[in-house]
Structure 1
Amino acid sequence: MPTGGTTGHSHEHSAAVEEAAIWFADQKEPPRPAVPVLRDRFGLSTLEATEALAMAQRFRIVRKAFA
């Protein structure tokens, strides 16, 4: 699997994290516990799932600011 830049993360992983973040941000009542759900649903690692949760929170903030 090719990695991008010096981060060691592949583009595919970044896309999966973003997809999970968008999905999670779109949930009216997000599932709990969130990390296991994102790991199972999107095949993410624990670190990637937590990155997706942080990204989802940023998406929600931006949506509120520009709604």
Structure 2
Amino acid sequence: MTGLDHEHSAAIDTAAEWLAKSSRDRIRRPIITELRERYGLSVAEACEVCREANLRRARAA
């Protein structure tokens, strides 16, 4: 994995952790927009974050 890939993986992991722990009621705007602005992600990366956060929530249940 290159340094750039590692940086993106870290951003996705950090964002997924935040999203999995955040209450959906507290997020007042579209989540893709929120993730892109908060973590500097592309649309595809923001979608990956949503997928990963959903998996984490399911494992925790």
State the TM-score, normalized to the length of structure 2: 0.86
Matched, 1:11 2:13: no
Give the number of the structure whose residues are more often helix, by fraction. Answer: 2
Match of 2:56?
Answer: 59
Cα distance in 2 between the residues matched to 1:57 and 1:26: 10
How large is the Cα RMSD of the aligned pairs? 1.6
Instruction: Show structure 2 runs of 5+ residues with no match.
Output: none
Matched pairs, number: 58
Q: 1:27 aligns with which of 22, 27, 30?
A: 22
Report the identity percentage. Answer: 40
Match of 1:36?
Answer: 33
Instruction: Show structure 1 runs of 5+ residues with no match.
Output: none
Greater relative contact order (Cα < 8 A, sep 6+): 2
| Partner AA of 2:19 in structure 1 | F
